[in-house]
Chain A
Amino acid sequence: MHKYLLRRFLITIPTLLGISLVLFTVLALAPGDPFEELALNPNIPAEVRFNLRRQFGLDDPIPVRYARWFTSMLRGDWGYSFVSRVDVDRLILQRLPTTLFVLGTAYVLALVIALPIGVMSAVRPYSLFDQIATTCAFIGYSLPTFFTGLLFILLFSLYLDWLPFIYSTTIEGSGLRWVGEHFRQAAMPIAVLGLFEAASLTRFVRASMLDVIHQDFITTARAKGLTELRTILGHGLRNALIPVITIVALQLPGIFTGAVITEQIFRVPGIGSLLISAIQSTDTPVVMAITFVYSMLVVVFNLMADIIYGCLDPRITYS
């Protein structure tokens, strides 16, 4: 087990290297120059400009610049935000917990919805319940998050006036009221993201459960007198989840798409809305760092999916 974990962990290093290489190539190929404004400013003499360029190594060959950028990213020196006037890593660390909270809760919500519905659909395929569930899943899967977000605001904030549609970081009060307010303002973003994820997860759970449920070992489990619940959950679902986890891991990069949009709609102060505002104000160090953080999140979640995969499937050997 330890050996497997170690090897799986080591594989992430070339992946991260590759991702950083892609990111850096995009940046290096891009036109524009962080010192463009200085070049146009007549008050700055040419030699100051030249010294600045040399100090930041802008005229070095690209491989040298890449090596320097990557090592400083590893050291935790992520640069300085031109707009917010703080270090990029501090800026991101402030925002990251909110993103992870919304994303994580949304995912739990998606699992809570998708697992029972998917299993029940597969146990009685083509029944009325299955048909309703499949249609709802199809609709949910085709509704883009930015549209559901606006619909939710329209319904719950403007029409019914139940929930606030702007996420506030400074909530007064303490104790239960504080928790309640937090829940109220996080409810819509979590619901939008969670329902979208639930829709695609339900489809996968149902399909994979349908494959499993007619196999011989399920009949065997029934024949030896297990209750229906234990047959379905212990023998069916456990095996059906294995392909589902692979698909979930593959879909992760797409989930961040929904997260960025949801954060932007509900003004959730996470790294997604930071990314958009950084792009709008041409704050390149922040943009680069956030894209890199998203890549790291993808890699970390993929690693976790692989480990869970190993735990669920006894056929996978760890040697």
Chain B
Amino acid sequence: MEIPRQAAVVDAAPPSATRALEVYPPRTLWSDVWRRYCRHRLAMAGSVVMLLLSLATMIGPVVYPVPIDDIDFAVKLAGPSWVHPFGTDDLGQDLLARILYGGRISMAVGLAAMLIAILLGMVIGALAGFFGGVFDSLLMRLTDLFLSLPQLPLLLLVVFLFRDRMRQAFGPELGIFMLIVCVIGGLRWMQPARLVRAAFLVLKEKEFIEAARCVGVPNTWLIVRHILPNALSPVIVSATLGVGSAILAESSISFLGLGFPPDMPTWGRILSDAKDYLDLAPHWALFPGLMIFLAVISINYIGDGLRDALDPRKIL
């Protein structure tokens, strides 16, 4: 959309201006966003930390090939040392290895739950905003209803009720993963849905949509190709922040002992095991807690930076 408009400007401009424009490569929407994002120092710091964390959890277990379930009572509850950089837990298992491995699960849960929430939210918001009328008010009542559900008690209730069934159907690890991801995603679609609906309500009255209708663009194509791309910026911000809150939700469930089993050491799960040994081994709780904190704060700063970068009214 951006490029043809610029071409038109170039045609109409006097020759000197044309030459000036040729010196610089054309500025696109996304290069502008990137430029503005780079000026947000804290967001850049957040991105670097997030990149390091993702790299560590992805290739960490390869570079640091210590098994996560190597039990050694001789070194149980030992503090950080050269052999065990993050110390060990009550069974003498290496904490760095467990944290690196657990980070994979925590991050995967965060990403997958956010994807579900965003997809659900976009579909519901787009349908409500585009078609309006009774359909809209029904869907919005549903959104309001979900917004007034108590999240954590309901999460715990659903995980508690369906845990065994999912374990039987998909195996102990995949089953729990799918259950937790679906429940977290299924309780977090409301905000994206509201954002998308609000954007759709404004956009569908615009001239370019009228023009597209005139040339006979069908409704589905209108939604997917013409309106949705223009409604994306608030969704991107809310998706970013959604990853953080999904990681927090997973850690909370695991912390309460209802999430993943002990052989899948997510950060919340390690913290939950560590909480009874605070006096003997504070490092056991500090390291996973620090990881959750680092992941969430860097995601929040990235979201903050994206919000500023994607807002065309802000001049940075």
Interface, chain A (partner B; CB < 8 A): 15, 18-19, 22-23, 26-27, 30-32, 138-139, 141-144, 146-147, 150-151, 153-154, 158, 250, 253-254, 256-257, 260-261, 264-265, 275-276, 279-280, 282, 287-288, 290-291, 294-295, 297-299, 302
* Residue of B whose beta carbon sits closest to that of A30: B161
Query: Given the interface contacts A144-B252, A146-B255, does A291 sit within 8 Å of B153 by beta carbon?
Result: yes
Taking the closest CB of chain B, its distance from the CB of A34, in whole angstroms, is: 12
A291 near B160 with CB under 8 A, answer no
Q: Which A residues lie within 8 Å of B235 (CB)? A: none
Taking the closest CB of chain A, its distance from the CB of B234, in whole angstroms, is: 16
Q: Which B residues lie within 8 Å of A264 (CB)? A: 256
Taking the closest CB of chain B, its distance from the CB of A97, in whole angstroms, is: 19
Query: Given the interface contacts A154-B282, A287-B157, does A280 sit within 8 Å of B148 by beta carbon?
Result: no
Q: Please list 21 pairs of residues, one from A and one from B, whose beta carbons are closer than 8 Å in the complex, sorted by A's number.
A: A19-B148, A23-B157, A27-B161, A30-B161, A138-B300, A144-B252, A146-B268, A147-B289, A154-B278, A154-B282, A260-B153, A261-B152, A275-B153, A279-B157, A287-B160, A291-B153, A291-B154, A294-B150, A295-B150, A298-B150, A299-B148
Q: Which A residues lie within 8 Å of B180 (CB)? A: none
A158 near B279 with CB under 8 A, answer yes
B144 at the interface (CB under 8 A from A): yes
Query: Given the interface contacts A153-B278, A276-B256, does A144 sit within 8 Å of B164 by beta carbon?
Result: no
B175 at the interface (CB under 8 A from A): no
Query: Given the interface contacts A139-B297, A144-B251, does A298 sit within 8 Å of B278 by beta carbon?
Result: no
Within 8 A of A (CB), among B254-283: 255-258, 268, 271, 274-275, 278-279, 282
B293 at the interface (CB under 8 A from A): yes
A261 near B162 with CB under 8 A, answer no
Q: Which B residues lie within 8 Å of A282 (CB)? A: 160
A294 near B251 with CB under 8 A, answer no
B147 at the interface (CB under 8 A from A): yes
Taking the closest CB of chain B, its distance from the CB of A256, in whole angstroms, is: 5
B148 near A298 with CB under 8 A, answer yes
B78 at the interface (CB under 8 A from A): no
List 13 other contacts, CB 8 Å, given A26-B154, A30-B165, A291-B154: A15-B144, A18-B145, A26-B158, A30-B161, A142-B296, A143-B293, A154-B278, A154-B282, A250-B147, A253-B148, A257-B151, A257-B249, A279-B258
| Other-chain residue from A142, A143, A294 in contact with B153 (beta carbon distance below 8 A) | A294
B161 near A253 with CB under 8 A, answer no
Q: Which of A30, A144, A150, A288 has most B Cβ within 10 Å?
A: A144
Query: Given the interface contacts A18-B145, A150-B278, does A290 sit within 8 Å of B153 by beta carbon?
Result: yes
Rounded to whole angstroms, the CA-CA distance of A294 and B153 in the bound complex is 8
A142 near B160 with CB under 8 A, answer no
B108 at the interface (CB under 8 A from A): no
Q: Summarize A's interface: helix, strand, loop or mixed.
A: helix
* Residue of A whose beta carbon sits closest to that of B159: A279
A256 near B279 with CB under 8 A, answer no
B300 near A141 with CB under 8 A, answer yes
B211 at the interface (CB under 8 A from A): no
A146 near B251 with CB under 8 A, answer yes
Rounded to whole angstroms, the CA-CA distance of A200 and B282 in the bound complex is 28
Q: Summarize B's interface: helix, strand, loop or mixed.
A: helix
A295 near B149 with CB under 8 A, answer yes
B115 at the interface (CB under 8 A from A): no
* Residue of B whose beta carbon sits closest to that of A159: B282
B310 at the interface (CB under 8 A from A): no
* Residue of B whose beta carbon sits closest to that of A264: B256
* Residue of B whose beta carbon sits closest to that of A141: B300
B292 at the interface (CB under 8 A from A): yes
Q: Which B residues lie within 8 Å of A290 (CB)? A: 153
Within 8 A of A (CB), among B275-316: 275, 278-279, 282, 285, 289, 292-293, 296-297, 300-301
B150 near A279 with CB under 8 A, answer no
Rounded to whole angstroms, the CA-CA distance of A23 and B153 in the bound complex is 11
Q: Which 5 A-B pairs have the closest CB atoms?
A: A30-B161, A294-B150, A142-B297, A257-B152, A147-B289
Rounded to whole angstroms, the CA-CA distance of A265 and B255 in the bound complex is 10
A265 near B160 with CB under 8 A, answer no
Rounded to whole angstroms, the CA-CA distance of A19 and B146 in the bound complex is 8
Query: Given the interface contacts A144-B251, A153-B278, does A15 sit within 8 Å of B148 by beta carbon?
Result: yes
A150 near B289 with CB under 8 A, answer yes
Q: Which A residues lie within 8 Å of B162 (CB)? A: 30-31
Q: Which B residues lie within 8 Å of A144 (CB)? A: 248, 251-252, 289, 292-293, 296
* Residue of B whose beta carbon sits closest to that of A298: B148
A150 near B152 with CB under 8 A, answer no
Q: Which B residues lie within 8 Å of A297 (CB)? A: 150
* Residue of A whose beta carbon sits closest to that of B154: A291
* Residue of B whose beta carbon sits closest to that of A254: B151
B228 at the interface (CB under 8 A from A): no
Q: Which B residues lie within 8 Å of A276 (CB)? A: 156, 256-257
Rounded to whole angstroms, the CA-CA distance of A137 and B251 in the bound complex is 21
* Residue of B whose beta carbon sits closest to that of A290: B153
B271 near A147 with CB under 8 A, answer yes
B157 near A31 with CB under 8 A, answer no
| Other-chain residue from B152, B251, B301 in contact with A260 (beta carbon distance below 8 A) | B152
Q: Which A residues lie within 8 Å of B150 (CB)? A: 253, 256-257, 291, 294-295, 297-298
* Residue of B whose beta carbon sits closest to that of A16: B148
* Residue of B whose beta carbon sits closest to that of A147: B289
Q: Which A residues lie within 8 Å of B257 (CB)? A: 276, 280
A150 near B271 with CB under 8 A, answer yes
Q: Which of B144, B162, B248, B256 has most A Cβ within 10 Å?
A: B256
* Residue of A whose beta carbon sits closest to that of B301: A138
| Other-chain residue from B144, B147, B285, B297 in contact with A150 (beta carbon distance below 8 A) | B285
Rounded to whole angstroms, the CA-CA distance of A146 and B300 in the bound complex is 18
